[in-house]
Amino acid sequence: MKPYSYIAYDSAGARTKGLILADTEADASARLRSQGLFVEKLDATRQRANLSDRLRRTTRLNPDLQSVFTRQMAVLLSADMPLESALEAIRTSGDGTALSTVATRTRASLMQGSTLAESLDSAGAGFPPYVTAAIHAGESAGELAAVFEELARHLETLGNEKAEIVSALVYPAFVAVVSFLVCAILMINVAPEIVAMFEISGQPLPPLTRHVLAVSDWIRDHITGLAVAFGVLILLMIASNRHPTLRNLRDRFLLRVPLVGRLIRRAAAVQYLRTLALVLGSRQTVPVAVENAARVLDIVQFRKEADSVLSGLQEGASLSDALDRLSIIPPVARQLIGAGEMSARLAPMAERSAILVESDLTAERKRIAALLEPMLMMLVGAFVLLVVLAVLLPIFDLQAVVAG
């Protein structure tokens, strides 16, 4: 099948455009008419097959849009709206965005006989495999509305957790950078100008003032090198998101930072446990749930440990025992999962363990914020105090000379 771009009008006269998959142009036109659309323009996208995959990647839903899509599907399906109508509603509300394109492609593939999970995958929705597996299970069981409701809550929770972690780390970093720039300006421009006014007196400068001026001179002499080093650091941070080797080095460094490392471990544990509970709740087997949960871990070290959990299951160990190989899972979470295995309530207990670890993560995040912000303020205040004293001490000495 080939993708066709079209411009058409619906029965109300509203103009719409999008993509549809069909064998021929006549087939594409017939499919559009069956959807109640009147075709104005229809063109085959003349691309090689590998460019079709590239097109899907360009319209891939980001995590925020994935959360929006699942929430809209949950609301529409719970209102007993047919699946095709729900996708059409999302398409019209998407207003030409990636959400609209994915809904169009999904609906076209669905009408050709594919399952919803297959259609979303081929449309370039970009959902992780465990989400696709949960949709497939819900489709088979006739519980799509419930599955999309659970997926929406799951993706919204993950998005909120990531946003809160970033905000907890970004704000102190922003304060530190701005404070450093302010102090640098004081040392490079303000302190030398003021102190120079008092050198004509011939009096020796106080030791603190001499040290501050020495640091100021060093910064001024090496300002180009410092700017280049800062630029290289920014480029490395950007490149670490694209290159696995750099990302691995960055992650290993961050994990060694006492407070930040603990925060990252707790966040990874919440993601793993929530995914585990979600897949188990969609009636998948434990090995399948463990395999899918491992895929949400971005850090290489954690993913290797998660793969060893699957190996432990294959060797005959219970899930709670196998999770001992994953260092980010706290003992209390393993105990809850063990209780779930014995009571045949594994999915609810996995969800409860995720909630427990998430509460620890929230408390940890608040502790870090409560510790870092006053610490940064104290450090910046102390630094500014040194610069101010370096300026005022010569004034006091000059006043003493004049008074004498």
325 token code pair:
């190989």
Closest CA to 120 of 47, 276, 129: 129
Count Cα neighbours of 203 within 13 Å in the Cβ-side half-sphere.
18
The b-or-e profile of 39-70 (16+ CB within 10 A means b, else e) is beebeeeeeeeeebeebbeebbbeeebbbbbb
In a domain, 355, yes or no: yes
What is the tally of structural domains in the chain?
3
Strands (E), 211-275: none
Task: State the helix-helix crossing angle for 98-111 and 63-78, rounded to 10 degrees.
Answer: 50
Asked whether residue 143 is domain-assigned, the answer is: yes
Give the pLDDT confidence score for residue 51 in this predicted structure: 41
Do 205 and 195 meet the contact criterion of CB atoms below 8 Å apart? yes
Contact between 314 and 290 (Cβ < 8 Å)? no
Looking at the structure, tell me whether residues 203 and 281 fall in a common domain.
yes
Name the strand (E) or helix (H) holding 248: helix 244-256
Structure tokens at 75: 């609301």
What would the two tokens of residue 366 be?
Answer: 């608040």
Claim to verify: residue 80 and residue 189 sit in the same structural domain: no
Which of 102, 130, 156 is the C-terminal boundary of a domain?
A: 156
Judge if 17 and 73 occupy the same domain: no
Give a yes or no: residue 168 inside a domain: no
Amino acid at 236: L
For residue 165, being part of any structural domain is answered with no
CATH number for the domain including 133? 1.20.81.30
- 8, 201, 291 from 272: Cα distances, Å: 44, 69, 10
* 253 and 342 share one domain: yes
What is the structure's pLDDT at 354?
A: 87
Residue bearing tokens 């064998």: 23
Domain boundary among 28, 50, 72: 50
- Residues 309 and 363 grouped into a single domain: yes
d(CA 1, CA 111): 13
In a domain, 162, yes or no: no
Distance from chain centroid for Cα 344? 33
Q: How far apart are CA 340 and CA 48, in angstroms?
A: 51
By the 10 Å C-beta count (0-12 exposed, 13-18 middle, 19+ buried), 374 is classed as: exposed
CA separation for the pair 61, 131 (Å, rounded): 13
Per-residue pLDDT of the chain (404 residues; tens, 9 = 90+): 566 777 877 777 777 777 776 667 777 777 777 777 777 777 775 544 444 444 444 567 888 888 888 999 999 998 888 888 888 888 887 655 788 888 888 888 888 788 888 888 888 788 877 788 778 777 877 778 888 888 888 888 778 777 776 776 677 677 777 777 777 777 777 667 766 666 666 667 788 878 887 887 887 788 889 889 989 988 888 887 778 888 888 888 888 888 788 888 988 898 889 888 888 887 778 998 888 888 878 888 898 999 999 899 988 899 999 999 999 999 999 999 999 999 888 988 998 998 898 888 888 877 877 777 788 778 878 887 887 787 778 777 766 666 65
Half-sphere exposure of 286 (CA within 13 A, CB side): 22
> Comparing C-alpha atoms, which of 342, 354, 333 is closest to residue 272?
354
Q: What is the pLDDT of residue 339?
A: 92
> In this structure, are 237 and 293 located in the same domain?
yes
Query: Does residue 366 share a domain with residue 297?
Result: yes
> What's the predicted TM-score (pTM) here?
0.62
Whole domain around residue 45: which residue ranges?
A: 2-50
364 in any annotated domain: yes
Q: Terminal CA-to-CA distance of the chain, rounded, Å?
A: 97
